[in-house]
Structure 1
Amino acid sequence: MQYDILGPVRVTDTRGGRFVSARKMQVLLVLLLIRARQVVSIDEAIAEIWGDNPPRRATAGIHVYISQLRKFLAQPGSRHNPILTRPPGYLFHLGDDEFDVDRFQELLHQGRRHLKEGRPENAVAAFETGLSLWRGPALGDLCDGPIIEGFATWLEETRLECVESLIEAQLSLGLHRELVGRLYSLTAQHPLRETFYRQLMLALCRSERQADALRTYQQARTRLNEELGLEPCRALRDLQQAILIADERLELPTAV
């Protein structure tokens, strides 16, 4: 069985990809998945589904949704079901089943290790494979409850870290000209994320566009001042100075 939440929630088995249609059942399935191997209490499930205004028979409703989910996840000819009753609630047992979030984290760690050990080509492959698992915004539109909302925020931050690491590896491979357009787009989408400005400045500088690199610094500085009242981080300030003095260390290292 394969569970996917890096996009609309989907379960894939021998019958193909299947989707839970009822929203409350989707929320409960996602809650159990992201807390896999931990007991989710009935009170937590109620708060995630109904917030501060649960219906009078909310506990009975949870029991009904669990029963329906068990039927949905049941495999023909198998007595095993991943949803186990464990007081004060339920536990999701992944076992040998696959979860796309676990796979994404595994590839992210692999890429970081390759990058640290000086294997940027391998790092690029790992990062790109990890990002290919994303089919859209994580969890679709289920981010209402506190646990799922917090998890979705963490997932998006982790995805952006993967993008940053991928670009870092690509820069080390001399792909600066190819990255300029994408980095302009990323700074527009994430105007307070300084890493993308630094990477764009470096890509522009290595593409013999020092004036554009310095202009990018000024744009970052203006945005940070207007939005947060902050000056750019030290990495951006140091890069600006290095560009101004044409520091040779900005050039792509040449293999000996």
Structure 2
Amino acid sequence: MTDGDDVFAISAPKVECLLAAMLVRAEDVISTDQLCGEIWRDEPPRRATATLHVYISQLRKLLKRADRGRSPIVTRFPGYVLELGENTLDAHDFQRLAQQSRAAARAGRHAETSMLCGQVLSLWRGTVLGELRGGAIVDEFATWAEETRLECVEMRNEADLALGRHRELVGPLYALVAKHPLIEAFHRQLMLALYRSDRRADALQAYHHVRSALDRELGISPCRQLHELHQAILLDSAPALPSAA
């Protein structure tokens, strides 16, 4: 954690877990019961509330700045709230830029969509709160963040395909389908990028791979968009521009 030129490290895992939950829900009151559940899950100690007060006190001392006169952690019934004041979080920038990306995509502004999604993804720092997962607050946030990231990856790919960047997308899309074999949108984008790169046979092979994966893992067939694109590639009549996501 940084504050200007100062760098702080929290060595106590439960205090770190508490801070993560309060940052995720910054400006919102979190009840004492919710915080206890976040720290100890379903096995709180006998004096959980008293121990929570100790952890809150430790965080207040850590976060208190002389120029502010008080800690940003405020007691407010039925628990506590972390007040950011003029400070911001990367998560808030992530959310704001994702919303702007959606608006640009809906309006068909492909270059702007690609740029904004790139800015969203540049804020990604790997697994979200990896070792701190397990509590409801952090898990909900981590799920939202990961789904938003994948949405922005898909939107950027669509925008880049519309901008004619199909050849440079082939490699990243192969990596995406390997990592997310059941996300059909990425397979569709890969098939289209390959077809538009004069790799019709590879595009057809990509369809066979996703069809096999879906049948093996879920017992289902590819979605309508994948099926229709496959038929169009077979007939060598796939659209010159990608279909909308």
TM-score (normalizing by structure 1) = 0.89
Partner of 1:214 in structure 2? 204
Note the 1:93-104 alignment, pairs <5 A.
Answer: 93-104=83-94
* 1:167 shift after superposition: 0.9
Partner of 2:135 in structure 1? 145
Within the candidate set 38, 41, 53, 1:51 is matched to 41
**1:160 and 2:150 equivalent?**
yes
Partner Cα distance (1:121, 1:102) in 2 = 23
Within the candidate set 53, 66, 72, 1:63 is matched to 53
Ranked by relative contact order (alpha carbons within 8 Å, sequence separation 6 or more), the top structure is 1
**1:14 and 2:7 equivalent?**
no
Which residues of structure 2 form unaligned runs of 5+?
Answer: none
Residues 118/16 of structure 1: CA separation in 2 closer, same or farther (3 Å cut): farther
**1:189 and 2:179 equivalent?**
yes
**1:117 and 2:107 equivalent?**
yes
Letter in 2 for 1:204: L
Partner of 2:232 in structure 1? 242
**1:176 and 2:182 equivalent?**
no
Deviations 1:194-239 (A, max 9, x none): 1110000000010011111111111101100110111111111111
Letter in 2 for 1:22: A
**1:251 and 2:240 equivalent?**
yes
* 1:252 shift after superposition: 3.4
Which residues of structure 1 form unaligned runs of 5+?
Answer: 1-10
Partner of 2:213 in structure 1? 223
**1:200 and 2:190 equivalent?**
yes
Q: Give me the identity figure in percent.
A: 52
Letter in 1 for 2:2: T
Partner Cα distance (2:140, 2:25) in 1 = 12
- The number of residues matched between the two structures is 242
Partner Cα distance (1:47, 1:213) in 2 = 49
Partner of 1:8 in structure 2? none
Deviates more, 1:31-40 or 1:95-104: 31-40
For the aligned residues, what is the CA RMSD?
Answer: 1.6
Deviations 1:161-183 (A, max 9, x none): 11111111111111111111111
SS of the equivalent of 1:98 reads coil
